[in-house]
Structure formats: C-alpha cells, structure tokens
Chains A and B, each alone.
Chain A
Amino acid sequence: MDKPLLDRKLLSIEESAVTFNNWSKNVRSPSTEVEVVEIIRSAYEKGQHVSLVSGGTKLGYGGVKSEYDLTLSLKDLKGIVEHTVGDMTVTVKPGTTMKELQDYLQNHNQMVALDPSWPEQATIGGIVASNDSGPKRLKYGSARDHVIGMRVVYPDGKVIRTGGKVVKNVAGYDMNKLLVGSMGTLGIITEITLKLRPVPKSENLIRLSVREEALDELKGYTKQIQDSMLEPVSLELVTPSLSQRLFHDEGYSLLIAFEDVEKSVDFQTNWVEQHKPAGVNYTTISNVKEFWNAFSEIHPNSLTDSKATQALLKVGTKNLDVFSILSECARIHHEGKVTIEAHGGAGHGLSTVFLEGDDAAIVNTINHLQHYAHTLKGYGVVKHLPFSLRQSVNVWGDEPSYFKIFEGIKHKHDPKNTLNEKRYIGGI
C-alpha cells in the first residue's frame, strides 16, 4: 500500500466533539480509580448524566442525546498494573492505547490477540466497551474471548470485580461478557485483565484477486480453503473499490493470513498457491506487519478530519454471506450516489462498510444495507456517523423481541441512567 488513505492529521477530541457529540464541556479526567468513584458517585447523587470517553476514536458510535452534564475521560487512567509473564495474563488500565499495550508485551514475546482499528489512538477500555475486532478474529476470536476479569465502577460508586485473573473460571455469572460491548452503559471499566498469546513465530499474507465478475470463483475457492486442513488467521474479502485504493487493482481481493511456526506457514502458503483456480491471481504481500498497521487505519474515526460526510457500518451475517454483503456494496458503489469501500471476514461473518457522500445518500444507503442484511437474517450497526445524522437513522437497528431483558439489565446497573444515556440500542 503506497499512500496513506486518509488525512493523517488528527483532530483534538474537543474539535471532534463539535461534529460527533457524546460530549460535555464539563470534562473530568481522573487518573485513579478512587477519583473515578468520587466523581461518579457525586454525579449519581445529583442525578447528572455523564458521557464516557477514552481515546476519542468512537465519538461517532451511537448516542442521540444532545447534552450531557459531564464527560468523564479515562485517558489518564492508564498503564500496566500487572503482567505475570509465566501465566500469560496482563492487567491494564483502560486508558492505555492498544499500541502501548502491544509494544510492551512484544518485549516478552506475547500479545493480546486482537487487531482492532486505530491501535495508536484507540484505548483498550474503548475497544473492550465497543467490542471492536479486526480481520484476525477468524482465528483468535474477539474481546469477549480474551477478557478474563475487570474492575468496574457502578454509577453509585460501588466497585465490582468481575471474573478473575485465571484463564478458566465459571464461578458465578460471567459478568465480563455483559460489560464487553456494553458501550459504557452499565459501568465504568477501571481495570481489565486479558489472556495473552505467544507472538507467532512466523506469519505470511497472501492476496488472491479476481475480476469483479468472477467473484463466485473466489467464493468457491474460499469454501475449498475452509473445508481443507488449512488454519487461516484471516479470510478477509475486499471490495473492488477498496482494492483499488489499497492495491491499484480493480477486482475483488481476498486477504489470507497465516500465523504459526515457519514450516506450517510455508506449507499453507504453498497450498493456497498450488490449489488456486486458473482465474484467480495470487500475490504475497511483502511487509506483513506494516500492511496490517496500515490496514487498521483505512477507515475514518471521530478524530480523522473530513470535509465530506463519512459513515461506517458494521454488518453481521453468517460467514459466507459476507460475499453477498460485499457484492451489494459494490453494486451500490457503481450507482455512483455514494462511495463505498468495504471488507468482511468470510470466516467470521463481520463486514465493515465505509461510506462517503452527501447526507441524504448516506442515510439512504445505511437504511438500505440494514434492510439488506436483515433479509439475510443479519444486522447492520452504524459505527461512525456525525451526530446530526444519527437522529435520522436507526444506529443499532431494530430492537429484538427480548429488548426488555436489556432494559432490565440496564436498570439493575444504572437505575438513574447516569452513564452514557441514549448511547445504546433502543435508547438505553
């Protein structure tokens, strides 16, 4: 990939908040859990509404409330609390960025097996609270599979530990799972304990590509790979528009990554080359780490600057329906009303769709894609959109029939809607 994809000049959170909101002018940035407790308890007692922020990359992710009384920033609550190398677990404070955490662990040949977007800006707290994941989820799973314990401050100031520091644990309800992906609506995460993995000894990345009309051939080969003994770390399909930007290539691409001991990686790489159908092109990507780093920044976040309106949609479907989602994206792109670049994991069923265009076209396209995903029994969630437009779309899609369980869970944790009110599904 030779050119950066977005303007890398980043905005300050204050600048970004003008467009994305989820913000109050009254900002507090505690650096200890004790301060967090004091601040939130007092807000709770006064019946105030507080928005939570950390790295500031996700201000465009949900939220239809125009004003909060207070913003609690966790960016200063950061650092490694404990790393037991032999146990392969780490305890970290939420404001630590993903990059800081991975760099530190790298010294010990260990890693958190998560590859979310914007690791330099996004903090582990925000990543866990929004359950962000990347292409390598196919092999390694998502945040819910790595978080083994937390400290959480409830809105009334109680500090609750969930899970523990051991990698296997079924004592009581698995409260970690509720917090992961809860978008700060249940409690303030002040410490996270994660399971680690060894850094793989070797890695490789292959790009298969086909002309746009030949997508079925790529799909057929993807199925063949999935039905073989290969153990890919990612099977990420990329639309022609995004292939164009990344590789100057007008067809679909499939990014196949392997991470294992060298002999295994080599064997699998050769297998893919040898078995590929004639119509499929094969290339290897030379600097794999650099590529993945760049790939993590191909989409906008609330700190990236843009004149045009931009949106990100997370679409969930069955694994292979990623092909349908992406070809629908390509079709809309060709209509020319919005620019769409998308990629999705054919082994895990999540697609990320990047839209740019005028406001009305973006709203229409979001509605359309949500509806389309629905016909495949999937869903679409808007991960990034200016505040003004979030009112015109259904960010989280339709509420499920069991929505009252969500309300019950919210009410038990946060009876006065102190935390991130209206940020989440169904106005929770």
Chain B
Amino acid sequence: MLFKKKKKDIEDEHLKNLAKIVGQKSILHHKEDLLSYDCDGFTIHKSLPKAVIFPKNTEEVVAAVTYCSTHNIPFLARGAGTGLSGGAIPLHEEVVISLVKMKNLLSVDYENRQAVVQPGYVNLKLTNSISAKGYYYAPDPSSQYVCTIGGNVAENAGGAHCLKYGVTTNHILGLELVLPNGEIVEISENGVPDMPGYDLLGILTGSEGTLGIVTKITVRILKNPEGKKTVLAYFDRVEDGSHAVSDIISAGIVPAALEMMDHTAIEGVEAGAFPVGHPKGIEALLLIEVDGIIEGIDEQIDQILSVCRNHNVRDVKVARDEEERGRWWANRKTGFGAMGAISPDYLVQDGVIPRSTLPKVLNNIKEISNEYNLRIANIFHAGDGNLHPLILFDSRIEGETEKALKAGTACLKACADVGGSITGEHGVGIEKKEEMRFIFTDDELEAQIAIREVFNPNDLLNKGKLFPTPSRCMDIKKVIKETAAAQ
C-alpha cells in the first residue's frame, strides 16, 4: 500500500515562532527538505541548516532577524545559491533566510537611469525587462540567468563585460539593508550619488553577506551600445594569445570583453552543450568584443585583427551576425558547467594577476597541474587578468578532492606571488579564508574584522566566513590582553 508519510509538525520552539513570522508554508525544517541547502555552488563542503525561511517582504526579514538576534540563533542570507566560495553554506546550523520570494522589479526610472529591485530578483530578468526600451543592466556573471542581484551585491559579482563597464559595485546606487540586530538602514534610496558620510554602499558591496541582509537595491541601468562586433581568434601557442591581449590593450582600445580559453577548456566546451566547432589542437582562443558607436567600431576591429596576425594567429574571424555571436558567447558562458562533460568533478578557482604576468602565471599553473597530476583548464577574463583555473578531479578516488583543493591553493599562491589577488569575483567565503593570509597581514585582517564588528558585533550573521579562523594573531592578542587584565 502506498501512502504519503505525514511530515512531523515543528517541535522546536524557535522554529514555531519563526513559522509564525513567515507563515507555515514559508519554512522548511525537515531534514530531507534541508538537504538542498547544505551547500551552494561550492559543493566540497556540506553542512545542514537549522531551517530555511522564505520571507516575502522587508518586514518579515526584520522580524525574523530580530527574533534570531534576540535569541542568539545564528542566521545567514541566501539568494540562488550559485556562489562558488561557500558563502551561503551554514557552518553553525544557521537559520537560512532565503530571499527568493522577494523577487520583484519595483520600479524603473529610464530618465534617471535607475531601477529598484528586490534582492531575489534574477540578474538577467532585469535586462530582459528593460531591453524593449533599449536599456540593460551591465554586470553579467555567467550565472546571470539564475543568480540574484542580492547575491551579486554580496559577492560584488563581475562578468565578461565588466572590463569596460565595471563590476557590480560600480552600478549600485542605493541599498536597503537589515542589520544583524534587525534595524533597517536605507542608503541613498533615490540613487543620489556621493551621499555625505563614509561610502557604505562601497563597503557593503562585496561584503559576502556578513554585514547585513540586503532587502532592496537601486541599480544603474545603461543604454544599449549602438553596435557590437565580436572576434574569435585561435592561437597555436598560449604566449601568442597572451601577447595579443597586451597589444590590444596597449593600442588604446577598451574592448567590452576580452576572454581567453586554453586547450583543456576548449576540449571541455566542445564536449558541452554549446559546441561551436573550434578546430582541433588549438592552444588558446580569444573572444574579443568591441561595442559603442557603429561608426567607430570597424577601425578598432581592424586593429585587433592585425594585432592577432602579428602574433601568429592560426585563424581569426569576426562574427557574421547576432546568431553567430550568440553561439560564441553561449559556448563561453557555459564553460564551467561544460567541464562536467570531460571530468566527474571540477573545482573553479578565481585568482587575479597583473595582466603583464599572464604568460608566467599560466606556466606556473601548468607546473602545478603536473605536480598534482590533475588536469587544469583555464577559462578567464584575460582583459582584467582574472583567471579561472578549473581543476578537474574525481571525488570517488580517495584523496583526490583534497589534492584538488591543494592544487587550487597553489594556483592562488602563484597569483599572490606576482602581486595579484586570491579572488576577482567569486569571493572568499569559506573556500579561501586561509588564503587571505597570502595577501593580507594580521594587522590588515584585523582592520577588516573591525568593520565587521561595527555592523555585526555578535557575529551571528554568516559566522565563520571571509577571515581565517581562528585568526591566530587576534586570539593570541586577546589572551595576552586577558592575562594582562587579570594580573
């Protein structure tokens, strides 16, 4: 006989009270329901939340946050859960506050070029909603068809076209935030620039959900460029591709996008869902886009073609039409996922280097790949030096996950060693906490932690993220202080 098992009612007193705030239908608390929330796009570390709630408006967020903070219950915000550094993973049985029901476009003001959205609004929907009038929202992470603008603010997300147009932080005009104690803060609600006082929009964007929960966002929208042209260039040597990148930039061209893929990455995307028939045996490809006033584009494209030819390009072509351009971009933008076609598992890394060190660092990554005996594919934003080494591994093989993690760390070390950074757009989360030490001293980490203490003094919101834990220096200092005080 088949019968549906009746799910148990909520027993926990706190969860009963939270259910009263958001409604019985907007809380998950059964283990089987919570399993989907035990990790985000960083799938290597998993741990279950206490519950997941789905507030429908700012008032419910305020009430839930106030409740949690009054009762000392850890909590964190979650958007679409596509984060790649584990920012939305509950490490302390948090109550996960999912913003996906707050998914409306609240208003668009074309004349003043701004739109107001709720945090759960999906990135690409904004562009789709305003494109009929010829406008778009510039930050375009590859995950834009699912990720939320709230998550983008938290991670300061970038994308292929951020080379010319800037990352999320350059497009945020105003924020409504619920502080960890439940207070609402409304910063520049009308999108007025340079509000007097410290730049809170700047510090909040990219704070990885550790300073407050964003409940409303005013973003800048842009007019579509009049024209776009896209170039695809194939090289037999990675060095040639890298030098072409440098020369395009030195020629005074500001491309809208300048992307690169290496041999292994090309193998992956060709095996994935959107192959475009790249020729065999290519060591590097460049995808280059120029946009702007149509009259000015052709001469820049000509310059790009001649730079590529000067660097022994095997073949270079300009997209014939929007359809072809679209196929090239789909091939690039689904690049991470495509690795699934050539490897059971893959780890996405995210380092940044000064552009001029590209050949050296790519070489180092090759050495790391050899040393760990793991294949590493490179798909990256070459124009701004933002590398994405994709470490291919098989978690079923004992010890290989750990090996992949170590290889990832080694890649980040290679970036840090040339004066780069350990993350350009995916954030630190839990994944790169220790690697923060590659680029920051203890004093510098403390200076940042001091900011968290201003917003999130009890560390109930998204605890254990972003900073090395335990911050050894701090703990030692604390002990010294305490001992001194005791004496």
- Which A residues have a C-beta under 8 Å from some C-beta of B? 84-89, 109, 131, 141-142, 144-145, 154, 158-162, 164-178, 180-182, 186, 197-199, 201, 223, 226-231, 260-268, 314, 316-320, 347-350, 377-379, 381, 396-397, 399-403, 405-406, 408-409, 412-413, 424-426
- Sample of 5 more A-B contacts, CB < 8 Å, known A168-B384, A400-B197: A159-B443, A170-B155, A178-B203, A226-B223, A316-B195
- The CB with the most chain A CB atoms within 10 A, among B193, B354, B440, is that of B193
**Given the complex of chains A and B, what is the CA–CA distance between A170 and B252 in angstroms?**
26
* Complex: A295 Cα to B447 Cα, angstroms: 40
* Distance from A200 Cβ to chain B, minimum over Cβ atoms (Å): 8
Chain A residues with Cβ below 8 Å from B337 are none
Most interface-central of A144, A168, A229, A319 (chain B CB within 10 A): A168
A89–B354 contact, CB under 8 A? yes
Name B168's closest neighbour in chain A (CB-CB).
A170
Tell me the complex Cα distance, A424–B198, Å: 10
The distance from the CB of B416 to the nearest CB of chain A, in whole angstroms, is 9
Known: A141-B170, A142-B194. A170 touches B423 (CB 8 A): yes
Contact indicator A144/B199 (Cβ below 8 Å)? yes
Q: Which 3 A-B pairs have the closest CB atoms?
A: A177-B202, A264-B296, A198-B252
Whether the pair B202, A223 counts as a contact (CB closer than 8 A) is: no
Give the CA-CA distance A399 to B201 in the complex, in Å.
Answer: 16
Q: Are B299 and A320 in contact (CB under 8 A)?
A: no
Which chain A residue shows the least CB distance to B427?
A170
Is B450's CB within 8 Å of the partner chain A? yes
Docked Cα-Cα span, A166 to B206, in Å, equals 16
Residue pair B197, A406 in contact (C-beta under 8 Å): yes
Q: Is the CB of B156 within 8 A of A170?
A: yes
Q: Residues of A contacting B193 with CB < 8 Å?
A: 142, 316, 348-350
Interface residues in B436-487 by Cβ distance below 8 A to A read: 436, 439-441, 443-445, 447-448, 450-455, 466-467
Smallest CB separation, B138 vs chain A (Å): 12
A residues near B55, Cβ cutoff 8 Å = none
Expressed in whole angstroms, the Cα–Cα distance for A312 and B184 within the complex equals 33
- List 20 contacting pairs A-B, 8 Å CB cutoff, sorted by A: A86-B356, A87-B355, A141-B166, A142-B194, A145-B170, A158-B447, A167-B352, A168-B158, A168-B167, A176-B202, A227-B111, A227-B134, A228-B223, A264-B292, A379-B195, A396-B197, A400-B195, A409-B451, A412-B451, A425-B196
Contact check, B448 vs A409: say whether CB atoms are below 8 A apart: no
Contact, CB under 8 Å: B223 / A229: yes
Asked if A350 meets B194 with Cβ closer than 8 Å, knowing A89-B354, A144-B202, A172-B436, the reply is: yes
Of the candidates B187, B443, B453, which one forms a contact with A412 in the assembled complex, judged by CB atoms under 8 Å apart?
B453
Chain B positions near chain A (C-beta within 8 angstroms) = 109-114, 134, 155-156, 158, 162, 166-167, 169-170, 183, 185-187, 189-203, 205-207, 223-226, 246, 249-250, 252-254, 292-296, 299-300, 352-356, 381, 384-386, 419-428, 432, 436, 439-441, 443-445, 447-448, 450-455, 466-467
- Choose from B110, B296, B422 the contact partner of A171 (Cβ within 8 Å): B422
Residues of chain B contacted by A175 (CB below 8 angstroms): 203, 447-448, 451
**Contact, CB under 8 Å: B226 / A229:** yes
Specify which chain B residues have a CB less than 8 angstroms from the CB of A178 in the assembled complex. 198-199, 202-203, 451
Q: Contact check: which of B192, B203, B353, B444 meets A177 at CB < 8 Å?
A: B203
Q: Given that A84-B354, A175-B447, A409-B454 are contacting pairs, would A166 and B112 also be in contact in the complex, using a CB cutoff of 8 Å?
A: no
Q: In the assembly, what is the distance between CA of A260 and CA of B246, in Å? A: 20
Contacting pair A181 B198 (CB below 8 A): yes
Collect the chain B residues with CB atoms within 8 Å of residue A262's CB.
296
Q: Which of B199, B249, B419, B448 has the most CB of A within 10 A?
A: B199
> In the complex, A145→B164 CA distance in Å?
12
Distance in angstroms between the alpha carbons of A318 and B110 in the assembled complex = 12
Nearest-neighbour CB distance to chain A for B182, whole angstroms, equals 13
In the complex, chain A residues whose CB is within 8 Å of the CB of B454: 405, 408-409, 412
In the complex the two chains form, what is the Cα distance from A263 to B298 in whole Å?
10
Which A-chain residue is minimally distant from B419 (CB atoms)?
Answer: A165
Rounded to whole angstroms, the CA-CA distance of A169 and B436 in the bound complex is 12
Q: Which of B200, B427, B455 counts the most A-chain CB atoms under 10 A from its CB?
A: B200
Point out the residue from B194, B295, B425 that lies within 8 Å of A181, measured CB to CB: B194
Query: With A177-B203, A378-B192 given, is the CB distance from A171 to B428 under 8 Å?
Result: yes
Given A171-B439, A408-B454, is A227 in contact with B192 using a C-beta cutoff of 8 Å? no
Judge whether A227 and B352 touch: CB under 8 Å: no
A166 near B354 with CB under 8 A, answer: yes
Q: Which residues of A contact B427 (CB under 8 A)?
A: 170
**CB-defined contacts of A377 to chain B, threshold 8 Å:** 189-190, 192
Whether A317 contacts B192 by the Cβ 8 Å rule is yes
Q: Are A402 and B420 in contact (CB under 8 A)?
A: no
Q: Which residues of A contact B114 (CB under 8 A)?
A: 318
Q: Whose C-beta in chain B lies nearest to the C-beta of A350?
A: B193
Do B293 and A264 have beta carbons less than 8 Å apart?
yes
Chain A: minimal CB distance from B225 (Å): 7
Cα-based distance from A314 to B112 in the complex (angstroms): 19
Can you name the residue of chain A whose Cβ is closest to the Cβ of B190?
A377
A184 to chain B, nearest CB (A): 12
- A408 partner residues in chain B, CB cutoff 8 A: 453-455
Q: Which of B198, B352, B426, B467 contacts A166 (CB 8 A)?
A: B352
B156: chain A residues at CB < 8 Å are 170, 174
Shortest distance in angstroms between A15's beta carbon and chain B's nearest beta carbon?
Answer: 29
Q: Roughly how many angstroms separate A319 CA and B112 CA in the complex, as a whole number? A: 5
Chain A residue with the shortest CB-CB distance to B438? A171
Q: Are A174 and B439 in contact (CB under 8 A)?
A: no
Q: Choose among A165, A176, A268 the residue with the greatest number of B CB atoms under 10 Å from its CB.
A: A165
Report yes or no: A86 in contact with B299, Cβ–Cβ below 8 A.
no
Residues of B within 8 A of A266 (CB): 295
Q: Which residues of A have CB within 8 Å of B205?
A: 174
A174-B203, A227-B223 given as contacts; is B424 within 8 A of A168 (CB)? yes
How far does the Cβ of A269 sit from chain B's closest Cβ, in whole Å? 11
**Interchain CB contact (< 8 A) of A267 among B223, B293, B353:** B293
Contacts of B202 in A (CB 8 A): 144, 174, 176-178, 180
On chain A, the residues within 8 Å of B109 by CB distance are 318
Contacts of B420 in A (CB 8 A): 164-166
Q: Which residues of B contact A197 (CB under 8 A)?
A: 254
Given contacts A84-B354, A178-B203, A264-B296, whether A169 and B424 have CB atoms under 8 Å apart is yes
Q: How far is the CB of A224 from chain B (nearest CB, A)?
A: 11
Contact with A168, one of B112, B134, B200, B352 (Cβ below 8 angstroms): B352
B384 and A174 form a contact (CB under 8 A): no
Compute how far the CA of A421 lies from the CA of B368 in the bound complex, rounded to whole angstroms. Answer: 51
Give Cα A413 to B453, complex, Å. Answer: 12
